[in-house]
Structure 1
Amino acid sequence: MHNDAFDYNLLSVFDAMLRERSVTRAAEQLGLTQSAMSHALNRLRDYFDDPLFVKTGKGMAPTTKAEALAGPILEVMTAMRTRVLPQASFDPATMERTFTLCMTDMGELVFLPPLIKHLRVIAPHCTLRTMQVPIPQIEALLASGEADLLLGSVRTAPETLFQQQIFMHGFATIVSTKNRDVGEHLTREQFETMPHIAVSLAGRTSPAYDAAYESHGLRRRIYLHTPHFLAVPLLMDEQPDLIATVPQELANVFCRYGIVRTVQPPVTLPPFALSQYWHPRFHHDPAIVWLRQWIKQIFDRYPVIEAVGGTVRDAAVAARRSKQPAKGRRM
């Protein structure tokens, strides 16, 4: 073999000749003229310094060298057809894949029911896996491919990640249905004197909305800090004097079970954004592109709450305008 650069397109010529044993039929299969096919075959012969395929009474038979090359070349062509080329597109109806999503227990309650409902219909062979991990580990998990997306509200997302706003929601204060001391509205005195449950994620000592309360001169009397949203309604059912402020959509889920009810707090908190985050390495991965678009489409039906004074920007709108999602934009 000489040292000239090899044209890897010639592998498909060898593959077609090996299967068809005819220059004419191989050319038809590849969509080439017979002249172009003969020229490509001659290039192969020159490169390997061997006829490769010779005329016999049963067509073009492979030479000994061609038979020796057949195994490795077929392996390459099989890998191209089964592992490389399918990556150019994603067919959810036939794809078999497990998508891994990073989210909190709150995210599971909000995101998973509609995701599972739609996924089982349009991608019946795909499955889901969820992970709850500390924010400092998110970037490495997404970069390695161990996780596909992060869903939720992350005020300190790594600058390297892409993000797209899914929808915006506000907060709601919930009380136990057994609590008879609170009506439809919480008075300022009730809000400041009743014991609160505060959900603190990723090692944060105080929820982000504490600053909003403090701006109105309100103070919460925190009785319990917990990293688990799911514990909140159960604890309130056992201790009806406890109250909590949680994302509105989560409050809606809790209220369906008749354990808690929502009440109007003394002040209205500004809305927050729920977004999806992914690593630039997988920005063009067809399956992840489909997943992001599908999730965005599902939750586009959720109401969008405009922030007071325009302090919260709609990253999804900006992404559509620029044809690219916002990158590394903190929320």
Structure 2
Amino acid sequence: MRHLARFDLNLLRIFDAIFAKGGVSAAARHLHLSQPAISHALARLRTQFDDPLFVRQGNRLVPTSAARAIAGPVREALRGLDAALDAATAFEPAQTTREFRIGVRLSGEMPRFSSLVARVRGEAPHVALASVTFRRRELVMMLANGDLDLALDVALPADDRMCRHYLGAEPLVVVARKGHPRVDGALDLDTYLALDHIIATARPYGPGIEDMALDRMGLTRRVAVRCQHAITAWQIVAASDLLFALPKSHAAVLDAMWPMQLLDLPLPVEPGGSYLYWHQAAQADPGLGWLRAIIVDELAKPA
């Protein structure tokens, strides 16, 4: 009934569109097909799988358990097929109008994405680039189904479906406002511990890497403020005597707009490394190979 030789592969792309868009009309717009054509394809899919696949719930078509079971493998197979077809054709950066979606955590977008955009569009002026946030537990799925082409993140647990390239690590620096009454161009550990601190993180609780390093030394610091973004922390530092630690490249971007004192962190902290991730099915994609090479070269430059 479902042997590949007798199966219309176009139906799988239509199934994927209905699953992703939640309805026949939305899938038709996405695929630039008529609504009757999508409805007819859905009827054929239901016959092929002997299952309704989608049932109406309000204004959406909700997948059945059978549809949910095949959705991931179908998307991964379609992605692999697209990559194989792309690999068979030449990729011309100067001519392509392709959109690339790069997964970037909120904290990692600021230091390098603007320079990456300039570099990419210098070679491929007609491309579109999107910086897309993601949940780590969904990263493999997003890379498999094409919601992301590549992703930048810290070291993640190994997964046979993902490839990765180590991009390097960078030190933390401490930021204090100019004119700080206790900090003037240098910072020792005693002063660091005596002052209050800011953490910038999307996590609602938990220690920073500085706190873990201090704990190994039997020491603690006082975190007086917790916020979600480095820009907010920078603004708070500018109007207070608090200290804030962040990666050197982040600090360089913000310091160019709002100068502060940038100081060496007075305790040993192992800098966290970053990686470039992509799905194994996209390994042979020439367009992504070109983009990966640019990212590796651009992010390897000193901050």
Q: Would you call these one fold, judging by a TM-score over 0.5? A: yes
Query: How far apart are 1:258 and its partner, in Å?
Result: 3.2
Secondary structure of the residue that 2:230 maps to in structure 1?
A: coil
Give the conservation status (yes or no) of the 8 Å contact 1:102–1:149: yes
Instruction: Give the aligned residue type for 2:261.
Output: R
Instruction: Give the aligned residue type for 1:257.
Output: M
Secondary structure of the residue that 2:129 maps to in structure 1?
A: strand
Give the conservation status (yes or no) of the 8 Å contact 2:170–2:248: yes
Query: How far apart are 1:147 and its partner, in Å?
Result: 0.8
2:175 alignment partner in structure 1: 174
Give the conservation status (yes or no) of the 8 Å contact 2:107–2:201: no
1:150 alignment partner in structure 2: 151
- The change in CA–CA distance for 1:150 and 1:236 in structure 2 (over 3 A counts) is same
Query: How far apart are 1:230 and its partner, in Å?
Result: 2.2
Instruction: Give the aligned residue type for 1:218.
Output: L
Q: Does 1:162 align with 2:126?
A: no
Aligned residues: 220
Cα distance in 2 for residues equivalent to 1:207 and 1:92: 41
Give the conservation status (yes or no) of the 8 Å contact 1:135–1:202: no
Give the conservation status (yes or no) of the 8 Å contact 2:185–2:261: no
Query: How far apart are 1:262 and its partner, in Å?
Result: 0.9
Cα distance in 1 for residues equivalent to 2:249 and 2:92: 32
Give the conservation status (yes or no) of the 8 Å contact 1:98–1:127: yes
1:258-304, Cα deviation, whole Å (9 max, x unpaired): 3422123322322331221112121222211111111112233327x
2:262 alignment partner in structure 1: 262
Cα distance in 1 for residues equivalent to 2:222 and 2:273: 26
Give the conservation status (yes or no) of the 8 Å contact 1:184–1:264: no
Give TM-score, length-normalised by structure 1: 0.60
Query: How far apart are 1:180 and its partner, in Å?
Result: 3.0
Give the conservation status (yes or no) of the 8 Å contact 2:101–2:129: yes
- The change in CA–CA distance for 1:256 and 1:133 in structure 2 (over 3 A counts) is same
- The change in CA–CA distance for 1:202 and 1:158 in structure 2 (over 3 A counts) is farther
1:271 alignment partner in structure 2: 271
Instruction: Give the aligned residue type for 2:266.
Output: P
Give the conservation status (yes or no) of the 8 Å contact 1:185–1:265: no
1:61-87, Cα deviation, whole Å (9 max, x unpaired): xxxxxxxxxxxxxxxxxxxxxx94675
- The change in CA–CA distance for 1:246 and 1:99 in structure 2 (over 3 A counts) is same
- Structure 1 unaligned blocks of 5 or more: 6-82, 304-331
2:234 alignment partner in structure 1: 233
2:109 alignment partner in structure 1: 108
Secondary structure of the residue that 1:210 maps to in structure 2?
A: helix
- The change in CA–CA distance for 1:165 and 1:85 in structure 2 (over 3 A counts) is closer
Give TM-score, length-normalised by structure 2: 0.65
Cα distance in 2 for residues equivalent to 1:204 and 1:103: 21
Give the conservation status (yes or no) of the 8 Å contact 1:105–1:229: no
Instruction: Give the aligned residue type for 1:93.
Output: A
Instruction: Give the aligned residue type for 1:180.
Output: P
2:35 alignment partner in structure 1: none
> Computing the radius of gyration over CA atoms, which structure comes out larger, 1 or 2?
1
2:93 alignment partner in structure 1: 92
- Structure 2 unaligned blocks of 5 or more: 6-83
Cα distance in 1 for residues equivalent to 2:189 and 2:163: 40
Secondary structure of the residue that 2:175 maps to in structure 1?
A: strand
Query: How far apart are 1:193 and its partner, in Å?
Result: 2.5
1:168-187, Cα deviation, whole Å (9 max, x unpaired): 21111111224232122223
1:207-229, Cα deviation, whole Å (9 max, x unpaired): 33432232233322111223322
Cα distance in 1 for residues equivalent to 2:300 and 2:119: 14
Cα distance in 2 for residues equivalent to 1:225 and 1:127: 35
- The change in CA–CA distance for 1:243 and 1:233 in structure 2 (over 3 A counts) is same
Secondary structure of the residue that 1:256 maps to in structure 2?
A: helix
Instruction: Give the aligned residue type for 2:295.
Output: I
Task: State the superposition RMSD in angstroms.
Answer: 2.4
- The change in CA–CA distance for 1:84 and 1:296 in structure 2 (over 3 A counts) is same
Instruction: Give the aligned residue type for 1:174.
Output: V
- The change in CA–CA distance for 1:130 and 1:197 in structure 2 (over 3 A counts) is same
Cα distance in 2 for residues equivalent to 1:187 and 1:86: 55
Cα distance in 1 for residues equivalent to 2:213 and 2:225: 20
Q: Does 1:217 align with 2:218?
A: yes
- The change in CA–CA distance for 1:210 and 1:156 in structure 2 (over 3 A counts) is farther
Cα distance in 1 for residues equivalent to 2:301 and 2:264: 24
Cα distance in 1 for residues equivalent to 2:174 and 2:157: 26
Instruction: Give the aligned residue type for 1:295.
Output: I
Query: How far apart are 1:139 and its partner, in Å?
Result: 1.9
Cα distance in 2 for residues equivalent to 1:204 and 1:95: 44
2:131 alignment partner in structure 1: 130
1:3-55, Cα deviation, whole Å (9 max, x unpaired): xx9xxxxxxxxxxxxxxxxxxxxxxxxxxxxxxxxxxxxxxxxxxxxxxxxxx
Secondary structure of the residue that 2:257 maps to in structure 1?
A: coil
Q: How does 1:70-89 map to 2 (within 5 A)?
A: 84=85, 87-89=88-90
Instruction: Give the aligned residue type for 1:222.
Output: V
